[in-house]
Amino acid sequence: MQTILDNYFTAYRSLNLTRDEDGVLVVQFHSNGGPLTFTAEAHTEVVDAFYRISQDRANKIVILTGSSGDFMTGVDWATFKDVSDPDVWSRIHDEGVQALENIANIRVPVIAAIEGRAHIHSEYVLLANVIVAAEGATFQDMGHYAAGVVPGDGIFTTWSYRAGAGRAEAFLLNAHPITAAVAREWGVVAEVVPNGQTLSRAQELARQYLKAPEVTRRNTRVHFIRPLKQRIVQEVGYGLSLEGASAAALVKAMQARS
C-alpha cells in the first residue's frame, strides 16, 4: 500500500535524499547541486522534509551534509519578502519552530558530516548526535547579530547546550568564524578528519551504529536528544518572537535611511 511517505524523496528543490539498502539516509542540502543559499522555499521545505524523515521507519540512520564542499553559505533575504509584516513573520516563526522540533523528533541516530562553511543554520547541525567536520570546516552565524537581528531561532539554544552559554554568546556576538579544531575543543565536533572525508567517515559510523538492535538505536536517540528537545520547546518560540521584533526594527531603520 502506498503512503504519503513514498514520494517525499523527490519532493524538494533544496534537499537531495538518498538511502542505501541498510536504511542509511543521506540528507544533502544544496542549491542547484552547489552549496545551499538559504531561501524562503528552503525554509518551508525543511519543515516538511524532516517531518517525513522522522515518520519513516525505513530510515535507520540519518546523515546531514552539504554540497560541493560546504554546508550552508548564505541567505537570499529577498525571498522572505517584508519581514516587518506580521503575516510574513508569523509564517517564518512557525516554520522556524517546526523545523527544529521535527529534526529533534527524528528517532534514530543522526550524524552530521560538515565540509567547508557552516555559516547559516548551524543549529540544524548541532541537533545531530555526532558531528564529523573536515579540517577546513568553519562555523559562523552570518544570519543574526552580524546581520542586525536577534539570534533567536534556536542557534543560541543549540550552541549554548553543546558548548556552554559563555562560549555561545561570544560566538554569536562575534562575526568571525571558528575552525573545526576550536569546535572540537568546545565539545561541539566529535571528530576532525581530512578534507573530503567527512561523508565516508559518517557512513563508517553509521555501519557501526547499525550493529545495535533497532529499538536500542531508536531509544538511545530519544534519550540523548530529550534535554535539548525540551529547551527547544521552551525557548525557540520566544526567541523567534524577539528576532521578529528586531527584524521589523531593522527594516524600519533601513527605510528611514533610504
The C-alpha cell of 179 is what? 575552525
CATH of the domain at 121: 3.90.226.10
> Count of domains in the chain?
1
- Catalytic-labelled residue, pool 123, 135, 191, 243: 123
Helices (H) and strands (E) in the chain, counts: 8, 11
123 as an active site residue: the answer is yes
Give me the domain span that covers residue 148: 4-257
The pLDDT tens digits along the chain (258 residues) read 344 455 899 999 999 999 999 999 999 999 999 999 999 999 999 999 999 999 999 999 999 999 999 999 999 999 999 999 999 999 999 999 999 999 999 999 999 999 999 999 999 999 999 999 999 999 999 999 999 999 999 999 999 999 999 999 999 999 899 999 999 999 999 999 999 999 999 999 999 999 999 999 999 999 999 999 999 999 999 999 999 999 999 999 999 998
**Amino acid letter for position 106:** I
In sequence order, what DSSP letters do the residues of 100-135 get, joined into one string?
A: HHHHHT--S-EEEEE-SEE-S-HHHHHTSSEEEEET
**CB 157, CB 232: distance < 8 Å:** yes
Query: With the CA atoms of 70, 74, 78 and 80 taken in that order, what torsion angle do they form, in degrees rounded to the nearest 10?
Result: 80
